[in-house]
Structure 1
Amino acid sequence: MNKEERHQLIINKLRLLDKVDYESLSNEFSVSSDTIRRDINELAEAGMIRKIKGGAQPQALIPVSYEERERYGNAGKRIVAQKAAALIKDGQVVVFDGGTTPFLIAGNLPRNIQLTVITHSFPIASLLLEYPNVELIFAGGRASRKSKITTGFEVLHKYNHIHADIGILGIHSLHHEAGVTDPVYEEVEVKARIAAMSDQLIVVPTAEKLYAVSNYTICRPDAIHTLVTDLQPDDPVLQPYQQLGIQLR
């Protein structure tokens, strides 16, 4: 087994486990603990896992800026977008979070769909302006050039007075115990409000965002109605989420 294969297996294990340790990986891969330590050091330096005493924990892999996310993982995001768009039906009130996956979901909606859409995302608002049967409500506020969204009091004030059938939440990190978390403090309050204002919260991560934890909490796992990923619903990776009663797509 070469180094690249070991690296991929370590990452795959951290999609299923909360942590791995040097000794167990050394025994499983039939290499020395020093070799595993070097592997983990390299993966941690690349930002792909988090190094801890005696081993490693998952680390969210997704870049933060909109432009970086737009280039990242497009194949998986397209699968998620197609699945999630199929869950949205005529006559619903839907709130769209910012981010590239919610944008792709909006772009997969039928051209003639009849919806009320609320969003604080500039790209989504611009896209859905062209949909003739979509009533669009844009939540203005402080503009983020990096994320292409608005944030702050004005957005929260708007969302405090709206109740949605469905919330589409773009997420950075999801863990079956920690819930949905994010590294960007300025976006957390708005995302948390989307979770609270929606009858059905749909979270839309690609597989590498699972079993990862970031700095700030958005919502607990029991707030999630549906989890849409690029995996098959019966994938063992998703079993802990199914056990929580979350619908899988």
Structure 2
Amino acid sequence: MKAKRIDLIKEYILENEHVSLKELEDTFNVSMNTIRRDIAQLLEDPRFEKVYGGISVKKNQLISFENRNTENQEVKQAIAETAAQFIQNGDLIYIDSGTTTKYILDYLDKDIQITIITNSLDVILRAEKFKNISVFVFGNIFKKTTRSFVGLPSEQVVNRYNITKSFMAATAVSIENGLMNSDIMEYELKKHIVEKAEINYLLVHADKFDKSTLLTYAPLSAIDTIITDKQFDDSYTSYFENNNIDVLTVD
């Protein structure tokens, strides 16, 4: 249990770059003494350093959003192109923030008439060139590391919108833990969107599967269609069949 918690703390710090000890205490629901012991062990990892009141990722260890975006770019674009085929005139869709979902708009017809809800700066900027796309933005705090807006809208706000389709991203995915992310400020939004949308699509690169991170925002069974480049083993294919999940695999 302790080893897994330390791994999750590492993931959380990498995602947020700098966190206070108090934030870790509250997020992981353990005592400050436990956090201090965990941090003492975590500091054996050369990626991290102790700073006043907290812990940070060493600057030369950070992987910027721009660099993450270039990793497996052709595959991510192929996944997004496949997803774009499911968007039709009149849809009200949610496009999640992420280095794959941002490409969806690159493959839409220039005259398409849809409404987009998003918290992604890249989606907002891409939508500018479409004369018939309306955009609603969730989140009131801009997070530079992910180029996304965070800050939780209330469940009542999310429920005002009749979302026909969501196009979701995830930091990690597994049968046991479902769809995961490591940002508490995005967790509630993702959770509400998946519950509200009529159809949920998951756009995810193969290397995200069978990993683990801090928070599960939805079970894998909540997804209707997975678009990926991964080839699945029997445990996954059986799960997909039992839960009526379609899988589209790009080259």
**Do the two structures share a fold, i.e. TM-score over 0.5?**
yes
Question: Larger deviation: 64-73 or 144-153?
Answer: 64-73
Between the two proteins, the alignment pairs up a number of residues equal to 188
Aligned-residue offset at 1:65 = 4.8
- Once the two structures are superposed, the pairs formed by residues 62-81 of structure 1 within 5 Å of their partners are 65-81=64-80
Q: What residue is the counterpart of 2:121 in the other structure?
A: 122
Aligned-residue offset at 1:95 = 0.7
Segments of 5+ residues of structure 1 without an aligned counterpart are 1-44, 48-62
CA deviation digits over 1:145-202, x for unaligned, max 9?
1111111134766424222000111111111221101122222122112212211111
RMSD of the TM alignment (CA)?
Answer: 2.4
- Once the two structures are superposed, the pairs formed by residues 81-230 of structure 1 within 5 Å of their partners are 81-154=80-153, 158-230=157-229
TM-score with structure 2 setting the length = 0.68
Amino acid at match of 2:188: E
Aligned-residue offset at 1:68 = 3.2
SS at match of 1:70: helix
Segments of 5+ residues of structure 2 without an aligned counterpart are 1-44, 48-61
The 1:196–1:107 alpha-carbon spacing in structure 2 relative to 1, beyond 3 Å, is same
Amino acid at match of 2:109: P
TM-score with structure 1 setting the length = 0.68
- Contact 1:166 / 1:201 at 8 angstroms: preserved in 2? yes
SS at match of 2:108: coil
Distance 1:163 1:64 in 2: 36
Distance 2:97 2:63 in 1: 12
- Contact 2:140 / 2:151 at 8 angstroms: preserved in 1? yes
Q: What residue is the counterpart of 2:240 in the other structure?
A: 242
- Contact 1:140 / 1:155 at 8 angstroms: preserved in 2? no
Identity of aligned residues (%): 22
Distance 1:180 1:140 in 2: 20
- Contact 2:152 / 2:189 at 8 angstroms: preserved in 1? no
